[in-house]
Amino acid sequence: MKYALVTGGSRGIGRAACVRLAQMGYHILVNYVNKTDAAEETLELVRQEGQDGELLKFDVSNLEQTRGAIEAWQQAHPDEYIEVLVNNAGIRRDNLMALMPAEDWTTVLQITLNGFYNVTQPILPAMQLHKFGRIINMASLSGLKGLPGQTNYSAAKGGIIGATKALAQEVARRNITVNAIAPGFIKTDMVDGLDEAALKKTIPANRFGKPEEVASLVGYLASPEAGYITGNVISINGGLYT
Q: Is 26 a catalytic residue?
A: no
Decide: helix, strand or coil at residue 3: strand
**Positive or negative CA dihedral for 10, 11, 13, 17?**
positive
Tell me the C-alpha distance between 164 and 119, whole Å.
Answer: 14
Distance separating alpha carbons of residues 89 and 105, to the nearest angstrom: 16
Cα end-to-end distance, the chain, whole Å? 39
User: Comparing C-alpha atoms, which of 4, 119, 28, 113 is closest to residue 68?
Assistant: 119
| Active-site residue identified among 3, 32, 153, 220 | 153
**Whole-angstrom distance, CA of residue 30 vs CA of residue 43:** 7
- Cβ proximity of 212 and 206 under 8 Å: no
**Sign of the CA dihedral 52, 54, 59, 64?**
negative
What are the b/e assignments for 81-93, b being 16+ CB within 10 Å?
Answer: bbbbbbbbbbbbb
Distance CA 173, CA 101 (A): 43
Would you please indicate which residues are annotated as catalytic (active-site) residues?
153
